[in-house]
Structure 1
Amino acid sequence: MLNQALKLTRQFHRMSQAALAEKLSISKSYLSELESGKKIPTIDILERYSATFKVPTSSFLIFSENIATGETAFKPAKKALRIMEWIAESADEEN
């Protein structure tokens, strides 16, 4: 579920895969594989995401754990995830 947290973060910031791939210094196809769950991000990639979006690396792990378990142990993280999903859906509807 880490892949979904990474994708939602990108969408929340209204950034295309091409733009993010360039910022992360990776190929667009590799980014696509990360977001689809075909590849697992390394710690280095997570740190690049963290630096790009100015979010603690641990946030991605908390979001992904919340997605995977559906638990409400991290209520603020779950609310933030719902907001990010809503924004991403709204952006998709606009396009």
Structure 2
Amino acid sequence: MIDIGTRIKDLRNARRMTQAEFAERINVTKSTVSAYENGTRFPSYDVLIRIARLFKVSTDNLLGYSEKSVVDVTGLTRKQINVIQDVVITYKRHNLLYRQMMDEDSVADRLAAMGLIDEDEADWMK
């Protein structure tokens, strides 16, 4: 499980935010952010909520209980929301396929199951 400090740092870096910028946005000092990230201090409940809102994740996500992220679609039409959902589904399928393709045994087994190669070729590919 990823600790909260690592999670905060990963989220901050993903948004190309310095510790100083992040500290200002959540109304704490840069040294406090550093302490959060290196695990010597934990954010208060109020700060935890500010961090979650800033990064648009749940507090469960920050605490390592959930990997789900939140996307605020307020103000979008139903059609726009559907497009976003379709994009998310497409990326999830892409990532799953990519992971399966990286597993050589899985690729050989799938090709054999589809009848594209015979069992001997599948064994050779493993």
Number of residue equivalences? 66
The answer on 1:36 being equivalent to 2:38 is: yes
1:56 to 55, 58, 80: 58
Q: Which runs of 5+ in 2 are unaligned?
A: 68-126
Structure 1 segments, 4+ long, off by >4 Å, are: none
Matching of residue 12 in structure 1 with residue 30 in structure 2: no
For the aligned residue pairs, the C-alpha RMSD in angstroms reads 1.8
Q: 1:25 aligns with which of 24, 27, 37?
A: 27
Higher helix share: 1
1:37-95 alpha-carbon deviations (Å, 9 max, x no partner): 11111111110101111211111122xx5xxxxxxxx7xx3xxxxxxxxxxxxxxxxxx
In our comparison, the structure showing a higher alpha carbon Rg is 2
Percent identity at matched positions?
A: 34
Q: TM-score, normalised by structure 1?
A: 0.62
Secondary structure, aligned partner of 1:59: helix
State the distance in 1 between where 2:4 and 2:58 align: 14
TM-score relative to the length of structure 2? 0.48
In the TM superposition, residue 29 of structure 1 has moved relative to its aligned partner by 0.6
- One-letter code aligned to 1:8: D
Counterparts of 1:24 and 1:5, CA distance in 2: 16
Partner amino acid for 2:5?
Answer: N
